[in-house]
């Protein structure tokens, strides 16, 4: 591998507070970090690799499950293949939104994406996918959330609603009082809480409890979007996953017709729910929900889906790169930042479809693809 990489831009370094993208003509990768000062003396006698194209900070998948498959935890080789697939599409930072597998070993693998874990899903007993979550009753929610906050990397994942078989429809999983106590307990441990939610009914409880981030949020309406924006809530729409609501409805139709009708209605309103969030000023994150039945490496599909429902390319890219990295505490491509980036054949601000074919992927300063 080359000691030094010369990125012959343009470099889409970061998005500033006004929303403008800072563009640099070129950059260098030296000792694993970005510099915009030509390091002439530092590269004397060192091999330099020239890479040309549009440079974007490494992509983020903020709802991904490394180590999880359709039947539960997967072995290390399978988990590695999942992470490699994400990496090769330019995803270099993953918020693993719940996994029953121990993936700490990923931290010691320099060729795999950086991973922020949320511990194991915290779910209500018999109201989630079998073998995936830590299933408890409300009286144990605080204790369990505290434990998962300590097990994760600053995040806890709670299942906020699921089908209630007695009701025959989606319903909140937790009394709001217990959820509020659990969120406070996670915050006391220095962790933020993200919650799986499909239903309209759950959102007022999430607001009251002070939940930080909502996953899917298909029940969003203009009123709850405005409240979410005021509260600083962040939403991960996972449009690639929620596109499957018609499948879920068909699977539940015979036994739970009310649920099936509800899922179809939520499916129909998905584009408007995302537009309501954008109009209200809610920050969005790109997340694919890969890891159970969805394959990894779908980030370009998710970005494209956001554009398809009305986001501008820059808004969608922000949710996948500059803004997402900032929210998760990672740098973009500022001077001295870790060199995690992808190189594209054309300007993604004109057409996000170029994300489907990176020219090169650079992770921790090394070209891992291209």
Q: Which two tokens stand for residue 279?
A: 């109009």
Enter the tokens of residue 197.
Answer: 């939610």
Q: How confident is the model at residue 157 (pLDDT cuts 50, 70, 90)?
A: very high
Over residues 113-130, mean pLDDT: 94
Q: Each residue of 327-354: pLDDT tens digit?
A: 999 999 999 999 999 999 999 999 999 9
With beta carbons less than 8 A apart as the criterion, state whether 352 and 303 touch.
yes
pTM: 0.96
Q: Measure the CA dihedral 314/316/322/324, to 10°.
A: 160
pLDDT of residue 364: 96
Q: pLDDT for 281-290, tens place per residue?
A: 999 999 999 9
Q: What share of the chain is helix, strand, coil (3-state, %, to 5)?
A: 35, 25, 40
C-alpha distances out from residue 243 to 176, 263, 289, Å: 29, 11, 12
170, 196 Cβ separation under 8 angstroms: no
Query: CB-based contacts of 41: which residues, under 8 Å, 6+ apart?
Result: none
CATH T-level assignment (fold) for domain 58-327: TIM Barrel (3.20.20)
- Region of poorest pLDDT, from 39-43, 295-299, 346-350: 39-43
Considering only 1-15, 46-60, 86-100, 291-305, which range has the smallest mean pLDDT? 1-15
Say what percent of the chain tops pLDDT 70.
98
47: pLDDT strictly greater than 90: no
Helices (H), the chain: 76-88, 141-151, 176-188, 203-209, 222-231, 239-242, 245-252, 257-280, 299-308, 313-320, 322-327
Altogether, the residues listed in the chain come to a count of 370
Which tokens in the block code for residue 15?
Answer: 């998005």
Instruction: Please check the confidence at residue 158 and state whether its pLDDT lies above 80.
Output: yes
**pLDDT at residue 64, rounded to an integer:** 97
CATH of domain 4-56+330-369: 2.30.40.10
Assign 15 a pLDDT band (cuts: 50, 70, 90). very high
CA distance 234 to 283: 5
3-state secondary structure of 342: strand
Structure token digits, residue 312: 């501008």
| Across 127-133, average pLDDT | 88
What local confidence, expressed as pLDDT, does residue 293 receive?
Answer: 87
Q: pLDDT of 56-96, one tens digit each?
A: 999 999 999 999 998 889 999 999 999 999 999 999 999 99
Neighbours of 281 (CB within 10 A): 11
Q: What is the pLDDT of residue 48?
A: 86
How many CA atoms, within 13 angstroms, populate the side-chain half-sphere of residue 11? 24
Give the pLDDT of residue 41: 61
User: What are the extents of the domains in the chain?
Assistant: 4-56+330-369, 58-327
> For residue 2, what pLDDT is reported?
60
Please say if the pLDDT value at position 115 is more than 80. Answer: yes
Specify the pLDDT at position 70.
87
What's the rounded mean pLDDT across residues 247-258? 97
4-56+330-369 and 58-327 share one fold? no
């Amino acid at each position: 591998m080359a000691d030094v990489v010369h990125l012959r831009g343009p470099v889409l370094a970061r998005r500033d507070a006004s929303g403008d993208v800072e563009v640099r003509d070129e950059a260098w990768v030296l000792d694993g970090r970005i510099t915009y000062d030509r390091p002439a003396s530092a590269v004397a006698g060192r091999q330099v690799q020239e890479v040309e194209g549009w440079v974007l900070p490494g992509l983020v998948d903020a709802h991904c499950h490394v180590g999880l498959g359709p039947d539960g935890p997967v072995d290390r080789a399978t988990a590695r293949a999942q992470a490699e697939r994400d990496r090769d599409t330019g995803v270099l930072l993953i918020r693993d939104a719940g996994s029953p597998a121990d993936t700490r070993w990923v931290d010691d693998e320099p060729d795999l994406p950086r991973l922020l874990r949320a511990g194991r899903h915290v779910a209500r007993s018999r109201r989630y996918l079998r073998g995936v979550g830590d299933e408890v009753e409300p009286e144990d929610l605080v204790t369990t959330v505290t434990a998962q906050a300590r097990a994760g990397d600053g995040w806890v994942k709670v299942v906020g609603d699921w089908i209630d078989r007695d009701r025959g429809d989606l319903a909140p999983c937790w009394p709001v009082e217990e959820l509020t106590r659990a969120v406070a307990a996670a915050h006391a441990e220095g962790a933020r809480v993200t919650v799986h939610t499909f239903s309209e009914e759950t959102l007022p409880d999430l607001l009251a409890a002070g939940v930080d981030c909502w996953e899917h949020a298909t029940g969003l309406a203009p009123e709850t979007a405005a409240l979410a924006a005021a509260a600083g809530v962040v939403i991960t729409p996972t449009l690639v996953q929620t596109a499957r609501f018609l499948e879920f409805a068909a699977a539940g139709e015979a036994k739970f017709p009310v649920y099936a009708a509800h899922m179809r209605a939520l499916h129909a309103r998905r584009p408007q729910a995302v537009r309501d969030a954008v109009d209200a000023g809610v920050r969005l994150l790109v997340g694919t929900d890969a890891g159970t039945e969805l394959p990894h490496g779908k980030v370009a599909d998710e970005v494209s889906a956001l554009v398809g429902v009305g986001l501008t390319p820059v808004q969608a890219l922000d949710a996948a790169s500059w803004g997402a990295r900032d929210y998760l505490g990672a740098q973009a491509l500022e001077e001295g930042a870790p060199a995690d980036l992808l190189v594209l054949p054309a300007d993604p601000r004109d057409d996000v479809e170029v994300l489907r074919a990176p020219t090169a992927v650079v992770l921790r300063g090394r070209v891992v693809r291209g």
